Amino acid sequence: MKRRAFAAVVLAGALLTAGCNGGGGSGADATAPTDPANLTGDITVLTNRTDLVTDGSLDRYATEFRKVYPKVNVKFQGITDYEGEVKIRMNSDEYGDVLLIPQVVAKADYPKFFAPLGEQAELSKTYSFTDYGSVSGKVYGIASFGAANGFVYNKDVWKQAGVTTWPTTPEQFLDSLRKIKAAGVTPYYTNYKDGWPLSSWSNVVGSVGCDARANDKLATTEPWAAGTDLTVGDSLLYNIVKEKLAEADPTTTNWEDSKGQIATGKIGTMWLGSWAVSQMQDAAKKAGKDPSVIGYMPFPAQSGGKYCSVVSPDKLYGINIHSKNKPAARAWLDWVLHKSGYAETAQAVSTIKGAPAPAALSGYTEAGVTYIELSQADAVKVTAIDNASEIGLTKADYRQKLIDIARGAAKGDLPGYLTDLNKKWTAAAKTVG
């Protein structure tokens, strides 16, 4: 089961059932319904959280939703390969009523596939991260929730290794992992085999230098030049593996198993979004451990004596531009964000502005960690360069190769690899213009 918690809830394309009174066909705005009692329709919800389907959690959400919209029926189907399957479905008009926008869809193409949800100037008063889902002043996707970024860690493991304060530099962090290894515990876990957790390392952009414009600067700079956020982050990952401070065989990692391993002290640390804290704490409960053993620490770098953490959105909810069920779809989207309570349950950062910070980030609050929301002014260009370079900043491949080089399973070294990445990026930037 992958990480995306309730953020992975999307409505099925192949299983759509038409008939939402007051509907709204292809091309109409997906405005919020005003008469819940008269809104009707059947919607099928797809999710990669198959565990939430099988344990009845999603049905309980649907039951609560029907108390507000009694004539709207919600059904669920679990999908394992969400990105792959939805990408295929989007070759037709039937890719759901509401869906989490796949990463493969370029932001500039959102108006081709998704109904506008409102003007950014207005929706940004209520929601964070509207830059991520907006094109030409209109919002086509609203963040399901947000997450801070950092290292999930087992407090007991770190304490027993003699480390009681958060490292402030990459070298201090490595030294901490060395002490954990000496204590007989696997210091770090890459989740190499599942791949997708490695994409979280891109969230060092902004976190290292405490710069809200860090992502925009990728459009006009060499991302892996000396001292850049990506260089600092990728170098740390490389050195962790190079020094054998990670699992012995990255090709055999298992995401689900890793939860229990960190909860029971077999693993010390993993770099993941703050959404993961509640999952690791649940694993601790199941293992008979105190869930408070799971902690969360920022990237080991400071600006002005303060740690910084990028707060970024999970996937964005969008509504199929071809949907005949737009009012019901918008009702579900709004209810999930405002009324379901899921963000609080998952200890995620609510996309609703002004909502309190989740319990998972209490340590950040106490330490005065500065939260950074990255500007998306040049996001379209950065994505275009990334696609043209075939590097894949948010994909697993390039960091899997980084790990392969570090463990001796591929030729090369860190300086050569970073130089190669810069060459590919620079060449692609020239083609994009």
Side-chain-side CA neighbours of 370 within 13 Å: the count stands at 17
pLDDT at 17 over 70: no
Range 408-412 average pLDDT: 98
How many Å apart are CA 184 and CA 91, to the nearest integer?
51
- Sheet containing strand 118-119, edge to edge, reads 118-119, 138-139, 134-135
Mean pLDDT of the chain: 89
pLDDT of residue 19: 31
Alpha-helical runs (H) found in 101-154: 110-113, 120-123
Q: Six-digit token pair at 79?
A: 């999908």
pLDDT in tens, 357-380: 888 899 999 999 999 999 988 988
How many Å apart are CA 70 and CA 128, to the nearest integer?
30
pLDDT of residue 122: 97
pLDDT at 135 over 70: yes
pLDDT in tens, 282-337: 999 999 999 999 999 999 999 999 999 999 998 899 998 998 888 888 999 999 99
The percent of residues above 90 in pLDDT, for the chain, comes to 70
Q: Six-digit token pair at 3?
A: 């990480």
Q: What is the pTM of this model?
A: 0.81
Q: 139: closest CA among 120, 112, 111, 115? A: 120
The least confident of 22-26, 195-199, 255-259 is 22-26
The least confident of 56-60, 82-86, 162-166 is 82-86
How many Å apart are CA 312 and CA 205, to the nearest integer?
11
Better-scored residue on pLDDT, 80 or 333: 333
pLDDT in tens, 211-220: 999 999 999 9
Calculate the CA 135 to chain-centre distance: 21
pLDDT of residue 324: 84
pLDDT at 11 over 60: no
Strand runs (DSSP E) across 289-433, as ranges?
A: 294-297, 302-303, 306-310, 312-313, 316-319, 370-372
Other CB atoms within 10 Å distance of the CB of residue 209: 19
pLDDT at 43 over 90: no
Better-scored residue on pLDDT, 22 or 323: 323
Q: 219: closest CA among 380, 397, 417, 396? A: 380
Contacting residues for 309 by C-beta, under 8 A, at least 6 apart: 148, 149, 150, 207, 298, 299, 364, 369, 370, 371, 372
> Which pLDDT band, with edges at 50, 70 and 90, does 23 fall under?
very low
> Which pLDDT band, with edges at 50, 70 and 90, does 6 fall under?
very low
Q: Six-digit token pair at 66?
A: 């029907």
Q: 312: closest CA among 105, 149, 140? A: 149
Better-scored residue on pLDDT, 54 or 364: 364
Better-scored residue on pLDDT, 271 or 14: 271
pLDDT of residue 103: 82
Angle made by CA atoms 79, 204, 407, in degrees to the nearest 5? 80
pLDDT at 111 over 60: yes
Burial status of residue 349 (CB atoms within 10 A of its CB: 0-12, 13-18, 19 or more): buried
pLDDT of residue 352: 95
pLDDT at 88 over 70: yes
How many Å apart are CA 269 and CA 280, to the nearest integer?
11
pLDDT at 15 over 70: no
pLDDT at 22 over 70: no
Place of tokens 């275009």: 384
Parallel, antiparallel or unpaired: strands 186-188 and 302-303? unpaired
Better-scored residue on pLDDT, 374 or 100: 374
* SS3 call for 313: strand
Q: Is 426 left (phi over 0), alpha (psi -120 to 50) or beta?
A: alpha
Strand runs (DSSP E) across 57-172, as ranges?
A: 72-78, 98-100, 118-119, 134-135, 138-139, 142-143, 146-147, 149-154
pLDDT of residue 3: 38
> Which pLDDT band, with edges at 50, 70 and 90, does 137 fall under?
very high
Better-scored residue on pLDDT, 56 or 50: 56
Range 248-261 average pLDDT: 96
The least confident of 69-73, 136-140, 289-293, 400-404 is 69-73
